[in-house]
Structure 1
């Protein structure tokens, strides 16, 4: 597979505001913030991804650091959407850093 093939086979993103709960969705946007659990708690990294239509939290259980994921980066995520307290959630989604 060439670099051109990889670009043409990427899935299109669904706007975050249109993802459906309990469905496997591919969406993405800009990372607005990352929250890491304290060292005396189970490892957990929460990343909020936003686009003009909404926000979704991506929660990585068992992780406190993922190289390249930092506020301001653009990321695509794929996983099953779950209801959350204030925004929908994806647990341990597949992710891909993208150029802005």
Structure 2
């Protein structure tokens, strides 16, 4: 088994892990598991040029006023890595807010070494 693989834990082992893991670790595991169950790609494995569907939770949403084209940028975290969703020409989008879970589909690009998807097709998940 590879070092980065996560194997299922037995009942006692799982309980011990849940008691000793940080809240951030538990949230990351839950997001990764939810993304995999939905059949989405993990953000840490996607490559530039791939057409992917990713799922996760928005960490930050920032309006960036640029001189020629304003953008709304949202960092989507799926428990493995962050992909920045870039909405060109938008100042705000209803429902695109920190903490919101969503699915996004688009072609992965690299900008300054970071993974981005420009103008993704997205679906908001219901608030939990």
Name the TM-score, length of structure 1 as normaliser. 0.81
Deviation at 1:33, TM superposition (A): 0.2
Larger deviation: 63-72 or 30-39? 30-39
State the structure with bigger RCO (CA 8 A, min sep 6), 1 or 2: 1
Which structure is higher in helix share?
2
Which structure is higher in strand share?
1
Question: Aligned pairs, how many?
Answer: 90
The runs of 4+ residues in structure 1 deviating greater than 6 Å are none
Question: Quick one: which of 36, 41, 47 aligns to 1:20?
Answer: 47
Largest Rg, 1 or 2: 2
Question: Kindly tell me: are residues 36 and 53 of structure 1, through their superposed partners in 2, closer, same or farther at Cα, counting changes over 3 Å?
Answer: same
1:83 counterpart SS class:
strand
Task: Structure 1: state its 5+ residue gaps.
Answer: 1-10
2:111 counterpart SS class:
coil
> What corresponds to 1:65 in structure 2?
92
Task: Structure 2: state its 5+ residue gaps.
Answer: 1-37
1:18 counterpart SS class:
coil
